[in-house]
Structure 1
Amino acid sequence: MGELNLYGVYVPILLIQSILAYLLLQIVMLATDRLVDQGWIAWPGIFNLCLYVVLVFLVHWLFILSGI
């Protein structure tokens, strides 16, 4: 993976990817909250966890493709 040096502080790339995935999750949850309210999603906690894992994978995949 690697790390990024920001003024002498090493920041892991996975931390940056996780933060980006969390921001994307917050945006996606705006749309999925309506589905939770209507009863389409049975266990929203498990659904959001799985959605976050998928978003971390997608962000990681995009980082690999971009060569960062």
Structure 2
Amino acid sequence: MGEMNIYGVYVPMLLVLAAAAYAVLRLIMRLLDQWVEQGWVPMPSVFYLCLYVILLGCLHWLHTAVF
């Protein structure tokens, strides 16, 4: 998968992708909190965990497809 050199420190690319997926998740959570409050999502924590894993997979696929 690779590494990224940030000011002389090698950071695993999976860590960078995980941080980016979490940032995107926090943005999406603001939009989906209305559904959670209305009761459309029965188990929000499991829903958000699944959404995070899907986002991380999509970012990983996008990273491997582009680079």
Q: Which TM-score band (shorter chain)?
A: over 0.9
CA displacement at 1:6 relative to structure 2: 1.7
Looking at structure 2, the residues matched to 8 and 31 of structure 1 have their Cα atoms a distance apart, in angstroms, of 38
Q: CA deviation at 1:60?
A: 0.5
| TM-score for both structures, normalised by structure 2 | 0.95
Corresponding position of 1:33? 33
Q: How far apart in 2 are the matches of 1:3 and 1:25?
A: 23
Amino acid at match of 2:6: L
> 2: distance between equivalents of 1:43 and 1:60?
26
Aligned length: 67
Cα RMSD, aligned residues only: 0.7
Matches of 1:40 and 1:7, distance apart in 2: 45
How far apart, CA to CA, are the structure 1 residues paired with 2:7 and 2:20? Answer: 21
Consecutive unaligned residues in structure 1, runs of 5 or more: none
Distance in 2 separating the partners of 1:8 and 1:64: 23
Structure-2 separation of matches of 1:7 and 1:55: 27
Please, what TM-score do these two structures have when normalized by structure 1?
Answer: 0.94
Query: Which residue in 2 is equivalent to 1:20?
Result: 20
Q: Percent same amino acid among aligned pairs?
A: 48
Structure 2: distance between partners of 1:37 and 1:26: 16
Q: Which moved more, 1:5-14 or 1:43-52?
A: 5-14
